[in-house]
Structure 1
């Protein structure tokens, strides 16, 4: 069943009660209910009491392969039934799915039965900030803080871990033009450090050019964007890859916390079809 109108607002409220496990799906609903973004379907197994909710972006052109399916489920049996018997998942095409690490086992089991190749992409902590007043005060004197714009897309794409290709440009453009961002500009007005907001409302793509590191720019853009997000009543959180201890220590030093028993993961199915 696809949700529309007031149902989306009701679903957002229900997902909030499952935080932090529902953080990513909740963030998707928050932005969809408030901002213009790329089209997506919000699908549930039942209404008004659902056990599975799936955020399914529509793929309309080249580059849309970066649009991930986001899944939240509080019942593994229902999740298995949905992905096995419904048309929600097209097992003949490329799909990238983000969800609870334990529930990825459900996806992998169904994929294995269907002879669909799988690939683990990342395993992440969810770092959250409930109250931005706890953030340290950042001395931004002498720092030119701004938002990113379309003229910066190529620079972001070149320096993003999963970018450096034409396929990522459409997603980055959507993020820059529709969602909050923050950057530090040099004397010529060029970004030297930046952070964006994904369609799941998570902060991400944090990057500082190597020659400008060690100046506190990363802290400045994180704190500034976090305050902007909470001022607009958005959740303040990010995903940190398990092996990225530098970013983990940075966010932890700013007061972000995480549940050590919970991890979010991303998996790709039919990865060889990603750009076809």
Structure 2
């Protein structure tokens, strides 16, 4: 049994940045700006540019600009992540758990050093109605592993408006949006129909452990020991991942090893028996036991150890499984994980472009 996890990271959206650190527009204390990266400063750069019709940015603030914007757009680096506003956002999302889990996990990482180089997009602040979390910076148009956003909304109308706001998403790229609310799917379907964009939807169950301190001690045979994965293992991870097998997935898995916690089990000779990774949204991902070592309780032990590791760091213990992966579902339920109501929707925009990833076998890049 294996985790059936998220696929990738994201393209820059409207980011939440404290104006007093970034030199923001003096007529508004808070400025959502777009990505990559720049908090405009009216005192330095001149007056706010005209607002595109229908945008959500209040009068006197700057609409989003992109890293590749036209000459004359305002360019200034975003302040470091983990600011007071991110702390307030973390608290607000905590009150909306478990529906906000995928965004909450990303914000936890942002507020603890931001190892994944993430950013957050909101429609308004502090009374936001919708949030996106994703990686900062540019990515190849067909890299659906990097181009992934997690979503949460309080108001589905605000969520729709955020997605459609200029500069938030690149509709000509392959990207995922995922979340635990039905509107994540229905809004994507409506927008795709209006824009003539192809979609591919995959549904998962999400499991959350309510109290990881109650988990039993992991039981391992004497010839099994805890080890550490290295960059030399990336090819093996890529070849055994149901969503891998190409250049972008290999890079993605390598980044997970460098940036986020992981566990592996080895025999006395150092041969890998199994592993479990963690992604930038704080979810368990790519759990795998080599075929010859199955039915030894190794996945059970890995699941317990990974849960304790996450809990010890102050993170939620959760992950996604394919709806037909009954073996993993039974294991999680035996260990006390609870399946959340409804489904987790992974919505892939422009799937044909995603399958054009270098080295991607047909049908593997999901």
**Structure 1, residues 91-125: CA drift from partner, whole Å, max 9, x if none?**
122211102351111111111111111111x2111
Structure 2 residues without counterparts, runs of 5 or longer: 1-13, 18-82, 358-366
Provide closer, same or farther for how the CA distance between residues 189 and 60 of structure 1 changes in structure 2, counting only shifts above 3 A.
Answer: farther
Deviates more, 1:4-13 or 1:240-249: 4-13
The match for 1:108 is 189
Contact 1:152–1:191 (CA<8 Å) still a contact in 2? no
Task: Kindly state the Cα deviation for residue 257 of structure 1 after the two structures are TM-superposed.
Answer: 0.8
Q: Please state if 1:94 is matched with 2:166.
A: no
Deviations 1:63-86 (A, max 9, x none): 842021111111111111222233
Please say if 1:245 is aligned against 2:326: yes
Which has more helix, going by share of residues? 1
**CA RMSD of superposed structures (Å):** 1.7
Decide which structure has the larger Cα Rg and report it.
2
| 1:105-159: CA deviation from partner (whole Å, max 9, x where unpaired) | 1111111111111111x21111111322221222235120123222221111110
Tell me the secondary structure at the aligned position of residue 139 of structure 1.
coil
Partner of 2:129 in structure 1? 51
Higher relative contact order (CA 8 A, sep 6+): 1
User: TM-score, length-normalised on structure 1?
Assistant: 0.93
Report if the CA contact (8 A) 2:143-2:174 is conserved.
no
Structure 1 197/3 Cα, relative in aligned 2: closer, same or farther at 3 Å?
A: same
Contact 2:116/2:259 (8 A) holds in 1: no
Query: Are the counterparts in 2 of residues 35 and 178 from structure 1 also a CA contact under 8 Å?
Result: no
For structure 1, the residue ranges without an aligned partner over 5 or more in a row are none
1:271 and 2:351 equivalent? yes
Aligned residue for 1:138? 218
- Tell me if 1:182 matches 2:263: yes
Q: Distance in 2 between matches of 1:128 and 1:248?
A: 11
| Large movers: runs of 4+ above 4 Å | 61-64
Cα distance change on mapping 1:201 and 1:248 into 2, 3 Å: same
Aligned counterpart for 1:30 among listed residues 102, 108, 111? 108
Which moved further from structure 2: 1-10 or 201-210? Answer: 1-10
Matches within 5 A, 1:1-276: 1-4=14-17, 5-58=83-136, 60-61=138-139, 64-67=143-146, 68-103=148-183, 104-120=185-201, 122-142=202-222, 143-259=224-340, 261-274=341-354, 275=356
Query: Structure 1 residues 60 and 91 mapped into 2: Cα distance closer, same or farther (>3 Å)?
Result: closer
d(CA) in 2 for partners of 1:59, 1:212: 40
Once the two structures are superposed, what CA deviation does each residue of 1:23-62 show, in whole Å capped at 9, x if it has no partner?
A: 1110011112214433332110010121100113235455
